[in-house]
Structure 1
Amino acid sequence: MEKTIMSEITTTKMPADKFVILLVDDEIDILEYVEDMLSEKYHVLTASNGLEALDILSKEIIQLVISDVMMPEMDGYELCDKIKSNLEFSHIPVILLTAKSGLQATIQGLELGADAYVEKPFHSDFLQVQVASLLKNRDKIKAYFASSPLIHIKSMAHSKGDELFLEKLQNLINERLDDADLDVDYLADRMNMSRPTLYRKIKSISNLSANELINVTRLKKAAELLSEGILRIYEISEQVGFSSHKHFGRTFSKQFGMSPKEYVQSLQRNDP
């Protein structure tokens, strides 16, 4: 079987319709077995230890990591700890695979932030259910945030680090909400991140590009202002950075499934 190699990683185009999973294990047989199991539904990248895995994580948008515990160079526990303590990766769910049994081994993995702990030998159906459940739950939260006018950005956070990251990002956008020229370069500079790093982080957490997140943040602020019932729609559109209230209306409708006027009417109907 042809394996993913490090020299290909930076140039490989990932399928847009598949989640990307990073599989980490120093045993080739296990890598091939789990890769075969998951590759029909997911795009799978592989690494033989934690150091290789961190290198891949710094270059690709990864939705989930499955890692063995016992490995050379950097074991699964240390890898999990580095993922969960690094602002760039902390949102990524981690499943640890181990031949160790017993409550203490499970507790150790969970204390380091692992989202699931699977003992070897495992049934393929069990691992696939764990993977699907973690990805589905994260995807539901992302979709709910994007389609719900008043849901806060922090609803997508899966760690304190993510929460602080998202809060800082939203504050930066809100500070220049009326500036139609607000762009990704400004956010990357203020977040002390490179543009590619910021893009990967935002995309992984929200399924949105940085520009899309800026737009959604504008629209959510508009929804908040609409709910207050003080400003007119055209005033709100200017306040959140739209040069045309007609363009604002079309964009609002596309994002939330109703026009600003219909949104106000829905709030009035639900007001006791």
Structure 2
Amino acid sequence: GTGVGLHLTAELAAVHKGKTEYTPSELGGACFSVSIPLSDENYTLEEIIETHALPDVSKTTDLISTDDSPEAVSSGKRYQDYKLLIIEDDDEVCEFVSQQLNESFSIVTAKDGTEGLKKAINEQLNLIVCDVMMPGIDGFEVTRRLKADFLTSHIPVILLTAHSSEEHQLEGIQAGADAYITKPFSIKYLMARIVKLIEQREKLQQKFAQEPGAAPIHLINFTDRDKTFLDKMHALIEQNMESVDFSVDTFAQIVGMGRTNFYKKVKGITGHSPNEYVRIIRLKKAAELLATTNLNISEVSYKIGFDDPFYFSKCFKAQFGKTPSAFQKGG
């Protein structure tokens, strides 16, 4: 189902001055009835906000409002290069959310936790939105497995659930979720959380790439294994800094990963392909050498694995906005 459950039903009934009652069923099991008064005499003037006709609440998609266009949240920016995975067992909800988010993102869907875990490994994902209450593997367990698997541990996860209690939110956080949204929710709010998580990572990745010097990249909500992996990458680049022939294939072999998985992992953590990231680290090292040594431009170029000083100067300016000579002079 949608995961709304009896608890949310009782809360909604209470908000509308109604009540939820239980009686044993003659056929076995339980019978629950909900009664809501129709007259506005049951409400104070302060409680009556709008007087227009109520919407049809017969569909599960009414758990989701479309109060604003999703694109309005991102100030017109589109994220079609970003791929999201929606894991939701309710076909109607899954289709509705996917259609709304598809205006801004590339969307992949999975009907349960098992399929979702497989797609998380096979696809190059930027974020996962997962329902909590699903048959088989629930959203909490999906999140725990994603964060425990080195190939998927870096992917942000947003959990959707009808449980609003502090206990359930704590369980989601402990499982490793990056955000926890309770139903009913608006597409605008979901979009805002997605955009914020993506932009937070982008800003840190860009800050690291565009600032000269050897300061380490700061990561948001990455696991210890991700940080260890990145530290190992930096150590290997440092050891092979002067080697023009040091390739991504060699790099992947040293860390014991296949080329495809290695590419996806580096891209997921840093926002750059392995080749781009190696070049950034080398250029940052060049900035450090230019600022702390008396080496000339050509000598610095060779020290960081560039065999063409002219090409090095071109890359350096593209990365930091000034030529190596201007940087060395402090201008």
Q: Please say whether Structure 1 and Structure 2 have the same fold, judged by a TM-score greater than 0.5.
A: yes
- Equivalent positions of 1:175-214 (< 5 A) are 175-214=239-278
Shift of 1:243: 0.8
Q: Is the 8 A contact 1:50 1:79 kept in 2?
A: yes
Q: Is the 8 A contact 1:84 1:90 kept in 2?
A: yes
Instruction: Return the letter of the residue paired with 1:158.
Output: N
Instruction: Return the letter of the residue paired with 2:166.
Output: L
- Equivalent positions of 1:220-231 (< 5 A) are 220-231=284-295
Match of 1:219 in 2: 283
Match of 2:125 in 1: 62
Cα distance in 1 between the residues matched to 2:181 and 2:147: 18
Q: Can you list the C-alpha shifts for 1:97-150, whole angstroms capped at 9, x where unaligned?
A: 011121000011011111110011112211111111111111111221221112
Shift of 1:161: 2.1
Cα distance in 1 between the residues matched to 2:220 and 2:193: 20
The question of 1:246 aligning with 2:272 is answered: no
* One of 118, 142, 146 as aligned partner of 2:209: 146
Match of 2:81 in 1: 18
Cα distance in 2 between the residues matched to 1:220 and 1:17: 30
The 1:78–1:168 alpha-carbon spacing in structure 2 relative to 1, beyond 3 Å, is same
Cα distance in 2 between the residues matched to 1:61 and 1:163: 20
Shift of 1:176: 0.8
Instruction: Return the letter of the residue paired with 2:205.
Output: K
Match of 1:47 in 2: 110
The question of 1:117 aligning with 2:180 is answered: yes
Cα distance in 1 between the residues matched to 2:212 and 2:219: 14
Q: Is the 8 A contact 1:21 1:44 kept in 2?
A: yes
Shift of 1:152: 3.2
Match of 2:198 in 1: 135
Shift of 1:53: 1.4
Cα distance in 2 between the residues matched to 1:172 and 1:74: 39
SS in 2 for 1:126: helix
Q: Is the 8 A contact 1:153 1:166 kept in 2?
A: no
Identical pairs, percent: 35
Cα distance in 1 between the residues matched to 2:304 and 2:327: 17
Match of 1:35 in 2: 98
Cα distance in 1 between the residues matched to 2:169 and 2:187: 19
The 1:151–1:61 alpha-carbon spacing in structure 2 relative to 1, beyond 3 Å, is farther
Work out the number of aligned pairs and report it: 253
* One of 142, 148, 151 as aligned partner of 1:79: 142
Q: Can you list the C-alpha shifts for 1:71-109, whole angstroms capped at 9, x where unaligned?
A: 123211111111222222222111000111210000110
Q: Is the 8 A contact 1:145 1:151 kept in 2?
A: no
Shift of 1:157: 5.5
Shift of 1:206: 1.9
SS in 1 for 2:160: strand
Q: Is the 8 A contact 1:24 1:49 kept in 2?
A: yes
Match of 1:11 in 2: none
The 1:40–1:248 alpha-carbon spacing in structure 2 relative to 1, beyond 3 Å, is same
Q: Is the 8 A contact 1:178 1:240 kept in 2?
A: yes
Cα distance in 1 between the residues matched to 2:195 and 2:231: 28
Match of 1:12 in 2: none
Structure in which a larger fraction of residues adopt strand: 2
Cα distance in 1 between the residues matched to 2:264 and 2:104: 22
Task: Say which one has the larger Rg.
Answer: 2
Q: How large is the Cα RMSD of the aligned pairs?
A: 1.7
The 1:143–1:263 alpha-carbon spacing in structure 2 relative to 1, beyond 3 Å, is same
Structure in which a larger fraction of residues adopt helix: 1
Cα distance in 2 between the residues matched to 1:244 and 1:18: 33
Cα distance in 2 between the residues matched to 1:153 and 1:92: 20
Instruction: Return the letter of the residue paired with 1:130.
Output: R
Using structure 2 for the length normalisation, give the TM-score: 0.73
SS in 2 for 1:179: coil
Instruction: Return the letter of the residue paired with 1:44.
Output: I
